[in-house]
Amino acid sequence: MAFDQVQLLDVTGPAEVFTTANTYGAHYDVRIVSVTGEDVRTSSGVRVGVDGDVESLPERVGTLVVPGCVPWQRAVADRELIDLTTALTERSRRIASVCAGAFVLAETGVLDGRRAATHWELTGELATAYPKVVVQADPVFVRDGDIATSAGVTAGIDLSLALVEEDHGSDLARSVARHLVVFMARPGGQSQFSVRMAPREAQHPAVRQAMNAIAADPRADCTPDGIARHVGLSSRHLTRLFRNEVGMTPGQYLESVRLEAAQALLEAGNDSVDVVAEEAGFGSAETMRRVFQVTLGVAPTAYRARFRTTAPQGRFQLSP
């Protein structure tokens, strides 16, 4: 299903996976349709040709893929799009969405009571706008029964590969992944790409003072008791204030500051993991590795390799 201002890769990514699968023995009949049956202009300005309208499809559809657009409010306000999508969900053996396409599915009601994913920047909005949907922030894609929803943009490729594997086995899906030069299974979840949950603005002067002290030197001995003494409160009282005003404990805030410092050091410098751990206040590389794995789903060395540069080490060299 395509519509004006849809994200281009939400449409072409899955289409490329399924049509590539055909070159390895699959038999997908991929059709792009729009509400009017006319071509659509994507958010990037690229025009996408369509095969017709919804009525041009067979009575039964194997897989419905619903892409998204940002802002998502534009799509869910299009009643004709929502009505036609609702009708298609009833005619489809399985249903999938890419990125903000989850909002379109949520508007039809098919995600009520189901687990769902969307782009990490939109998970909070999806949960707020559609409280009956069980939003999961980290997975690249989520399968709940016959409905699958994926994270942002390129995650539609990951999801489509999983559907190909379901239909035709891992060998064929692996061939498609190799041809497209993508991971068969992406290492880690969305968290490694996202900005961590930002602490809320604090109003209480003691909380602001504590946050400023932590941010000023994450390497300092910032134990809960030490922070509390610094601002003249009991540890229990400060923790209660932090939970109410910031949405996390002083210890959690400290860890988030140290994690952010470590990310910046890994992205910008050449220091070893041990040095980065010391500079960021973790004390040991093992402690830092544990926090990276739990929070971001990747090790510090893997984070540096993925986010520091697009050029593989040793691949490109200047001629003398």
Give per-residue pLDDT as tens, 17-29. Answer: 999 999 999 999 9
Q: How many CB atoms sit inside 10 A of residue 48's CB? A: 17
Alpha helices in the chain (DSSP H): 8-22, 72-76, 79-91, 101-108, 123-129, 155-168, 170-180, 205-216, 224-231, 235-245, 250-268, 273-280, 285-296, 300-307
Alpha carbons 206 and 70: distance in angstroms, whole number: 39
pLDDT at residue 320, rounded to an integer: 40
**pLDDT digits over 208-217, tens only?**
888 888 888 8
State what percent of residues in the chain have pLDDT above 90.
59
Contact 219, 277 (CB under 8 A): no
Asked whether residue 198 carries a pLDDT value surpassing 60, the answer given is no
The set of residues, in sequence order, having a beta carbon less than 8 Å from that of 273 and lying 6+ positions away, is 285, 288, 289, 300, 301
Q: Region 134-143: what's the mean pLDDT?
A: 86
Higher-confidence position of 35 and 245: 35
Alpha carbons 245 and 208: distance in angstroms, whole number: 10
Alpha carbons 199 and 211: distance in angstroms, whole number: 10
Asked whether residue 310 carries a pLDDT value surpassing 60, the answer given is no
Bridge partners (DSSP) of residue 2 are: 34
Long-range Cβ contact pairs of 125-129 (< 8 A, separation 24 or more) = 125/72, 126/102, 129/103
Q: Region 22-38: what's the mean pLDDT?
A: 97
Q: Are strands 92-97 and 115-116 parallel, antiparallel or unpaired?
A: unpaired
149 sits in which H/E element: strand 147-150
Asked whether residue 313 carries a pLDDT value surpassing 70, the answer given is no
Q: Read off the pLDDT band of 308 (50, 70, 90).
A: low
Alpha carbons 110 and 104: distance in angstroms, whole number: 10
Helix axes 155-168, 170-180, angle to 10 degrees: 150
Asked whether residue 274 carries a pLDDT value surpassing 60, the answer given is yes
For 224, half-sphere exposure in the C-beta direction (CA atoms, 13 angstrom radius) is 14
pLDDT at residue 260, rounded to an integer: 87
pLDDT at residue 134, rounded to an integer: 94
